[in-house]
Amino acid sequence: MATPVVGVLALQGDVREHQQVLTDLGAEVVLVRTQAQLEAVSGLVIPGGESSVIDKLSRIFDIAQPIQDRIAAGMPVFGTCAGLIMLADTVVDAIRGQQSFGGLDVSVRRNAFGSQNQSFETQIEVPELGGPAVHATFIRGPVVDAVGSRARVMAALPDGRVVAVAQGNLLGTSFHPEMNGETRFHRYFLDRVAEHAD
């Protein structure tokens, strides 16, 4: 079986952590900053960071529209934290002029869990992934306010707040699985890449 070639959007955020997890899972990883690099990959991870900065830089680097085009064409994409915000069709508290790539039929709220010093870790059941509960790290994470008819909930906190969603080849989490050895979301993403390549 061919080694999957996947990208990590490398404009800002925790790029190296995703690169490490994907490499450990056997993928060939391209750090994506240009349209040519985007064209070389079969899937893309959008890391956590600052969604407004990722948005701004993606437009400065002229890669925002190419990413939107690839999403529309079915490219598998996995967004964590700010990456989930970038995948959401609606950002309910975006700063002035902020845009997302879109594709996921959800509305998200930025920094819904408070400031950096209110970061926390918890266990979350994700039945679709099987096995033990997911150890989830939240760092100024967004929350999914509304899930449209095309998307589905993968995981929620005990209080009902939605923190992981999927839709076709798109996957988004409010938390950072790449930070604590959790590989099942990345495996899920790589499975979508393999299926899309067939």
Name the average pLDDT for the chain: 93
> What confidence tens digit (pLDDT) does each residue in 3-60 have?
889 999 999 999 999 999 999 999 999 999 999 999 999 999 999 999 999 999 999 9
pLDDT band at 192 (very low <50, low <70, confident <90, very high): very high
Say which range, 92-96, 115-119, 174-178, 188-192, has the weakest mean pLDDT: 115-119
Select which of 17, 176, 182, 186 is catalytic.
176
Q: Which domain holds residue 158?
A: 5-197
CA distance 194 to 198: 6
Q: Which listed residue (81, 121, 128, 186) is catalytic?
A: 81
- Per the residue annotation, which of 17, 18, 178, 182 is the catalytic one? 178
Q: Which 8-state DSSP code applies to residue 142?
A: -
Amino acid letter for position 149 = S
- Give catalytic status of residue 176 as yes or no: yes
How many domains, the chain?
Answer: 1
Is 28 noted as a catalytic residue in this protein? no
| Among 37, 40, 35, 81, CA closest to 59 | 35
Interval 149-171: pLDDT, tens = 999 999 999 889 999 999 999 99
Domain containing 99 — which CATH number?
Answer: 3.40.50.880
Per the annotation, the verdict on 81 as an active-site residue is yes
Spatial CA neighbour of 1 closest among 194, 149, 184: 194
User: pLDDT of 55-112, one tens digit each?
Assistant: 999 999 999 999 999 999 999 999 999 999 999 999 998 888 999 999 999 999 987 7
pTM: 0.95
